[in-house]
Amino acid sequence: WGAAKALGEAGVRVTLLDGMADPTGSTPLTTASGKPFEAGTRGFWKDYPNINALTAELDLGPVFTDFTTSAFWSPDGLEATAPVFGDAPRWPSPLGQVAATFTNFKRLPIADRLSITGLLYAMLDLHRSDAVYRRYDNLDALTLFRSVGISERMINDFLRPTLLVGLFKPPEELSAAVTMELLYYYSFAHQDSFDVRWIRANSVGEALIAPLARKLMESHGLRVLGGTLATGLNLTPDGSAVASVATRAVETGEEGLIEAVDAVVLAVGARGMGALMASSPACAAAVPELVEAGTLGAIDVVSVRLWLDAYVDVADPANVFSRFEALRGAGGTFFMLDQLQREEEAALWGGEQPQGSVVASDFYNASAIATLSDGEIVALLMRELLPVANPAFHAATVLEAEVRRYPASVSLFAPGSFSQRPPLETALPSIVCAGDWVRMGSREHGAKGLCQERAYVCGLEAANSLIRRRVVTTPTASAREHSVIPIRADEPQVLIGRALNALVMNQAEALGLRWPWLPRNDC
């Protein structure tokens, strides 16, 4: 949608393909009884300047909730709460985060919390050079955590569950580089970086995508083909550009062809990329980097929504499950939607009379959870997981439940995967890539990880690339690129720390010395 916006506003004729029946958000996802459902509950963090600008541009009004607290729950009970950091007295990072949460950890000793200090040194070192970054990418996060002295309790009680719901895999399966980027962006860059809010009513599709889609279709001629897959990219006779896109309707199987194509923005994940390249042999030969991207792994997700016959009070509307064996290696979250969307509670019931709490729960790295039946997943929540936050869940009855599985739906940032991730600009000038897993090169943005802001910005930058290089044609010769707002600047102590680290370590490495946790080779 970021790419469609930037291209449409520049005067380019855009066709958007999506396998969803209606990707515009104007037809909400619902259960069989007509109650609303959303695949994953997505937060909007403090440093989402471009999405914030979009909501202002569309004049959406109060589309988000206030910033909210959140909690971590384990079989032992409440482990920690995350406050609204912006409400606390301001201190330089990370002192502000430490001060604001000093009494918020209920079980984790302060010595274990302070053991994360070693990771801050590695964060200062991460972007010293491209070669150094790739060394960290080749390292798994668990190895790095142990090498810099983080305690096992800090790893298992806090970092592991955080990563399972932040990057959707345990630390031993994640790139240390991407892990540090995520932790820095969401937690350490500024005291209030972790402050998060949610959609105030309905869903992301209805609240944000639908008004954007209407504007682009009505004002810029955007054509949307829902329920349609791209099945092949056909090149010009000389193989220098895309000439047409083969399509197939999801419901009917009817095949089609979009001709006279100037450029293609691939906003797909690894599974979609692999399938598209497999069915486009000439294109695959021209852009082997996309073939390689299509071989990367992806993560299974299970999303659940429960409608209960009683209201259950939970102190924090957003919650994380930690250390439950019943999760079978998955990360788990739950959200009290009746608390987050209190003013629009009737909408949560599809127009029916509200009868109790509405709970959304998402499981990531959920391959084992997905093998359970719907009833078993609901029972897992109601009997083992949710009652830890409030025993009253035991007495509540589930009036309706919806369980949906999304196999291989989320990007996996595995160790060593950086060089395989798709680039913004490919070997064919008329093919660009967009999405939160894309390497943006010189257009890199401060939003990191599995992030709505990064996905949107990468779409804008993919379109800007086509405009800047005059790959696409417009009615005017000088189409303007879409503006991209950077996130807040790093704090002075971070800039000084990076500069000092680079000064010392670049000279040290010339003498054969290095940080003990940093792999020596670059491959």
Place 476 in a pLDDT band, splitting at 50, 70 and 90: low
**Strands 298-308 and 358-364, bridge-based pairing:** antiparallel
Q: Is the pLDDT of residue 277 over 50?
A: yes
Q: What pLDDT is recorded for position 478?
A: 63
Q: What pLDDT is recorded for position 343?
A: 87
Q: Is the pLDDT of residue 523 over 50?
A: no
Is 70 in contact with 194 (CB distance < 8 Å)?
Answer: no
| 0.85 surpassed by pTM | yes
Helical pair 130-138 and 176-183, crossing angle rounded to 10 deg: 110
C-alpha dihedral, 177 to 181 to 187 to 193, nearest 10°: 180
How far from each other are the two terminal CA atoms of the chain, in whole angstroms?
A: 35
Is 380 in contact with 315 (CB distance < 8 Å)?
Answer: no
Q: Is the pLDDT of residue 385 over 50?
A: yes
The string of pLDDT tens digits covering residues 319-337 is 999 999 999 999 999 999 9
Q: Is the pLDDT of residue 12 over 50?
A: yes
Q: Which two tokens stand for residue 102?
A: 């000093």
**Strands 264-266 and 431-433, bridge-based pairing:** parallel
Residues in the chain: 523
State which H helix or E strand residue 72 sits in.
strand 70-74
What is the phi/psi pair of residue 297, to 5°? Answer: -80, 170
